[in-house]
Amino acid sequence: IAVAHDPNTARQTDGTVPLVLAGHLHNRINEQLKGGTRLKVEGSTGGGGLRAVQNDKPEKVRASVLYLDRSTRRLQAWDEITLGGLGLTTAEVSRHLPEENLKKDAPSSPAPTPSPTRSPARPTPSP
């Protein structure tokens, strides 16, 4: 994994690492580069300074949690977390999977065969 502040610098690692992380733009970008490297640009994690209060609406705070495979060290999934911003109480979390990890040719599981169920026996009336 490589890390660079500016996404333009991060793009220079294409083909040499599976994942490169960047910031600087204060909005999220997730892109598969031509050489196979995934570029993840994170949104504003609070470093936006006065931008957080300059507009009518507070700037949202964004962060991601990355899940890496221990053996291959490749990205398996990530959670994108978005908070409403200064003074707001909203939060959103969404899970994402890299397209290359989705098995497109995997056979679908056969539907389970329904098994017959017996109706309970009717009670016999007592004399």
pLDDT at 127: 58
Q: Residue 47 — very low, low, confident or very high, per pLDDT cuts 50/70/90? A: low
Q: Alpha-carbon distance 36 to 46, whole Å?
A: 30
Beta pairing partners, 65: 79
pLDDT tens, position by position, 77-101 = 999 999 888 788 899 999 999 987 7
For the chain, what percent of residues have pLDDT higher than 70?
A: 73
pLDDT at 57: 78
Q: Which residues contact 11 (CB under 8 A, 6 or more apart)?
A: 20, 33, 39
- Name the 3-class secondary structure at 53: helix
Q: Alpha-carbon distance 111 to 113, whole Å?
A: 6
Most confident of 55-69, 92-106, 112-126: 55-69
Question: Two tokens at 42?
Answer: 């994170």
State if pTM tops 0.85.
no
pLDDT tens, position by position, 7-27 = 999 999 999 999 999 998 888
pLDDT at 12: 98
